[in-house]
Structure 1
Amino acid sequence: MADNDAPHLCIEKTTGNKTLPLSNLRPSRSGSGPPSLAVLHSTFWNPGTSIRVKFMSGGTPRVRQRVQYYAQQWEQYANIDFRFVADDDPDADIRISFEKDGSWSYLGTECWTIPKDEATMNYGWFDDNTSEQEFSRTTIHEFGHALGCVHEHQSPKALIDWDREAVYAAFVSPDGWSREDVDRNIFNRYTAAEVEESLFDINSIMMYFFPGRLVKSRVGSPVNYVLSVTDKAMITTIYPFQTHNSGAWSTLSDRLWYPPVALNARQIDFDPPYPSPPRVVVGLTSVDMYYGTNLRVKAYADNIAESKFRVHIDSWANTELYSGDATWVEAEDADADYQTGTFDTQGLHPWNQPQQKNSARIKFKNGYQDTPNVVVWLSGFDMAKGHNWRIAVSADGIDKDGFTIHLDSWADTVLYAAQASWIAYAKGKDGVASGADDTRNYRPWYPAQEKNGRKVDFKAGMYNRVPKVFAALNYFDFDSARNMRIKVSTPQVTADGFTWHGDTWGDSLCYGVGVSWIAFG
Structure 2
Amino acid sequence: MEIGSWKISKHWQDVAQGESQQEIISLMAQASSPLILTAFTLLDANWWSNGNQLRARCYATDIHSDEFQVHTDTWSDSYLYQAVVSWLAIPSTPYGILAGTCSVEPHEARGGKKHRKATRIAFQQAFYKPPKVFLCLNSLDLGGTWGIETRAENITRSGFDAVFESKGSSCLHAAGASWLVYDTSLEGITSGIIDVHEDTSLQKSWAGEVKFKKPFQAPPRIFHGIRRIVASAESNLRISAEILEGSVTTDGFGWKIEGWDDSRNHGIQVAWLAVGDNMIQVLDD
Q: TM-score, normalised by structure 2?
A: 0.88
Matched, 1:284 2:40: yes
Corresponding residue number in structure 1 for 2:240: 487
Equivalent residue runs for 1:100-139 within 5 Å: none
Distance 1:397 1:496, change over 3 A: same
Distance change in 2, residues 1:432/1:445 (3 Å)? same
Q: Is the 8 A contact 1:268 1:308 kept in 2?
A: yes
Q: Assess if the C-alpha contact under 8 Å between 2:109 and 2:115 holds in 1.
A: no
Residues 1:360 and 1:446: Cα distance change in structure 2 (over 3 Å): farther
Whole-Å Cα distance in 2 between the matches of residues 489 and 314 of structure 1? Answer: 21
CA shift at 1:428, angstroms?
Answer: 2.3
The 1:444–1:256 alpha-carbon spacing in structure 2 relative to 1, beyond 3 Å, is closer
**Whose radius of gyration is greater, 1 or 2?**
1
1:262-307 CA distance string (max 9 Å, x none): 1111111111x11111111111111111110121100111111111
In structure 2, relative to structure 1, the CA distance for the partners of 1:451 and 1:335 (3 Å cut) is: same
Residue 366 of structure 1 deviates from its aligned partner by 1.3
Higher strand share: 2
What is the distance in 1 between the residues matched to 2:202 and 2:103?
A: 29
Deviations 1:363-388 (A, max 9, x none): 1111112221110010011112xx32
Q: Secondary structure at the match of 1:368?
A: coil
Question: 1:445 and 1:276 mapped to 2: Cα distance?
Answer: 48
**Per-residue CA shift, 1:452-502, capped at 9, x if unaligned?**
242211014x21321111111001111111111001111122221112222
Unpaired stretches in structure 1, ≥5 consecutive residues: 1-241
Query: SS at 2:268's partner residue?
Result: strand
State whether residues 331 and 338 of structure 1, in contact with CA within 8 Å, keep that contact through their aligned partners in structure 2. no
Alignment-derived partner of residue 209 in structure 2: 455
> Quick check: 1:466 aligned with 2:196?
no
SS at match of 1:481: coil
Distance 1:446 1:375, change over 3 A: farther
Matched residue, 1:430? 187
Pairwise CA RMSD of aligned residues? 1.8
Does the CA contact (< 8 Å) of 1:502 and 1:514 recur in 2? no
Q: How far apart are 1:447 and its partner, in Å?
A: 5.4
Query: Do structure 1's residue 322 and structure 2's residue 81 form an aligned pair?
Result: yes
Report the Cα distance in structure 2 between the residues aligned to 1:453 and 1:360, rounded to whole angstroms: 33
Q: What's 1:102 paired with?
A: none
Of 423-432 and 298-307, more deviation after overlay is shown by: 423-432
- Are the structure 2 counterparts of residues 370 and 496 from structure 1 closer, same or farther at C-alpha, using a change threshold of 3 Å? same
Match of 1:156 in 2: none
Change (3 A) 1:265 1:321: same
Is 1:389–1:476's contact at 8 Å kept on the other side of the alignment?
yes
Q: Distance in 1 between matches of 2:15 and 2:116?
A: 31
Aligned-residue sequence identity (percent) comes to 27
Looking at structure 1, the residues matched to 12 and 248 of structure 2 have their Cα atoms a distance apart, in angstroms, of: 28
Aligned partners of 1:437, 1:418: CA distance in 2, in Å?
21
Quote the Cα distance in structure 2 between the aligned partners of 1:400 and 1:315: 36
Q: Does the 8 Å CA contact 1:438/1:453 hold for their aligned counterparts?
A: no
* Contact in 1 for aligned 2:128/2:157 (Cα 8 Å): yes
1:363 aligns with 2:122: yes
Aligned-partner residue type, residue 44 of structure 2: D
Q: Corresponding residue for 1:509?
A: 264
- Kept after mapping to 2: 8 A contact 1:449/1:511: no
The one of 378, 394, 405 aligned to 2:137: 378
Q: Is the 8 A contact 2:103 2:119 kept in 1?
A: no
Amino acid corresponding to residue 466 of structure 1 in structure 2: P
* Structure 2 stretches lacking a partner, 5+ long: 277-285
Secondary structure, aligned partner of 1:258: helix
Task: Give aligned pairs, total.
Answer: 267
8 A contact 1:278–1:332 mirrored in 2: yes
List, as ranges, runs of 4+ consecutive aligned residues in structure 1 with deviation greater than 3 Å.
Answer: 349-355, 443-448
Partner of residue 70, structure 1? none
- Which structure has more relative contact order (CA 8 Å, sep 6+)? It is 2
Distance in 1 (CA, whole Å) between partners of 2:206 and 2:154 is 29
Change (3 A) 1:448 1:358: farther
Question: For the structure 1 residues 375 and 446, does the alpha-carbon distance in structure 2 shift closer, same or farther, using more than 3 Å as the test?
Answer: farther
Contact 2:6 2:86 in 1 (8 A): yes
